[in-house]
Amino acid sequence: MSSQSSGTSRSGQKTASGFPAERKARVEWVTIDDDQAGQRVDNFLINRLGGVPRSVVYRILRKGEVRVNRGRVKPPYKLRAGDEVRVPPVTRRNDAPERVVPGARVQRVVEKAICHEDDRMLVINKPEGMAVHGGSGLSFGLIEVLRAARPDARFLELVHRLDRDTSGLVMIARKRSALRHLQEEIRSRRVTKRYQVLVAGDWPESCTAVDHPLERYERQSGERMVRVSDSGKSALTRFRVLERFQGYTLMEAFPVTGRTHQIRVHAASQGHPVAGDDKYMDGAALKAFRSAGGERLMLHASGLELTAPDDQPLTLEARPSRAFASLLARLRKP
């Protein structure tokens, strides 16, 4: 068998992200390169067979239609460089909705928001209101927009996530080796993340850290929430007061752990929810914030300090949006 480059099948077809645009009724053999190595075979197939239900992916694995080096594998199998993967002729469901392609305008917005780029990674100052990825009713998010804007990119993957309504710095890996490096740096707590956050009320100067375990749960409506709970996972956030206003405090927050909604729930647990937070701020406080001109969740990932995949120190800063800055300017007026 002859080898081929990343994402190139023996049919010779390539498209954005190196994946075939239309799947033909033929078997393909794909040779795994260094950038693809390390991922589970089920995730590899889910990405490659875009539009095919996950149930189909697991069925063809279970039936042995997918082979690696001519042998059967189970979904958790981690691909290695040089592996030969047999991809069976699977067609997309006729009733599955077509993927929505992000338009040129939103692609330009994301490209202009790039604040660091090298051959291993990108860092983007994500706008508020944009999810980092599609799903849960969203046709696309930041990563899908970036892939559409860069159809020749062989590898683009999120390193970490921000809430949809939180703005700020998001890292994107351009190589699988970079993804592994950056995620290990985060797991080992060697990445410093700094946030600007405006909270309701007068935050006490003595409260410099909140160390409460957090637990995810769902309301009866299906809305996903997080609460402080002894049965939750450990979570630690450090806080520092920057500026005080009538009714609000501007803070810096440093999440030591990376739990869902961590800063938002830790701030709310102290009686000082993040301004504009429609999940954890009570109705009266949220209404008062809106009447004062508040337009967004006042949480912005403003800084990153880390060792980049090239082993060089990297420090990045990103300004918040105009809506964030405008509200602070109004609060500063006597």
Q: Which of 120, 154, 160 is nearest to 142 (CA)?
A: 160
Q: What is the rounded distance in angstroms from the CA atom of residue 328 to the CA atom of residue 299?
A: 12
**Is 163 assigned a catalytic role?**
yes
Q: Residue 237 in contact with residue 274, Cβ under 8 Å? A: no
Is residue 304 within a helix (H) or strand (E), and if so which, with residue range? Answer: strand 299-307
**Given the DSSP bridges, would you call strands 299-307 and 167-173 parallel, antiparallel or unpaired?**
parallel
Write down the catalytic residue from 163, 202, 277, 310: 163
Torsion over CA of 151, 153, 154 and 160, rounded to 10 degrees? -110
Q: What is the distance of C-alpha 15 from the center of its chain?
A: 23
Distances (CA, A) of 28 to 3, 10, 25, 97, 262: 12, 6, 9, 25, 44
Q: What is the rounded distance in angstroms from the CA atom of residue 244 to the CA atom of residue 237?
A: 20
Gyration radius from the chain CA atoms: 22
Give catalytic residue positions: 163
